Amino acid sequence: MNSEKIKLVSEKQDDKGTLLAELLELLNVNLVIDQIIVGLLQKSKRSIMDNSPDANPAILKRTLSAFENEFKKEGPSLKADIAKLYADTFSIEEISQVLAFYHSAAGQRFLAGGKEIEKNLQLTASAWSKNTSNIAFKRAVELVELH
């Protein structure tokens, strides 16, 4: 490849990276990844605790604290891996089209509606959980009483 072709490929990749970063920001992908990291961190810490029944509690506590700090330092690598998934899945043209939609009136309304939904999501999920717990518990008690 000559130097002009290499430069064009490099510029196109830079453009794709810029557009992709904008799209991921609009979609709040980093916030979702942060939530995933928190969940995975908690799962990993539980695993360490479960596999350390005879550990000195003070040492285990310090180890878990250090582990948490080190685990969080690796967050950017997960974000880069997920950005690469998007980059490998969608072309620069597709990303541009999606961004054009999000910058349109309908896209702006869609984003605003998503934020509205996010505000009510926790309340909806909590209400569902309470109701489902009551129903499931009632059924479980009935099943146990029958046997």
- The number of residues in the chain equals 147
Collapsing DSSP states into helix, strand and coil, what is residue 21?
Answer: helix
Instruction: State the CB neighbour count (10 A cutoff) for residue 19.
Output: 19
pTM above 0.85, yes or no: no
Does 14 have pLDDT greater than 60? yes
Answer whether 36's CB lies under 8 Å from 25's CB. Answer: no
pLDDT tens digits, residue range 49-65?
A: 999 999 999 999 999 99
How high does pLDDT run on average in the chain? 89
Domain chopping of the chain, boundaries: 1-103, 105-147
pLDDT bucket at 13, cuts 50 / 70 / 90: low
Torsion-angle region of residue 28: left (phi > 0), alpha (psi -120 to 50) or beta?
left
Cα distances (Å, whole numbers) of residue 131 to 87, 117, 145: 41, 20, 21
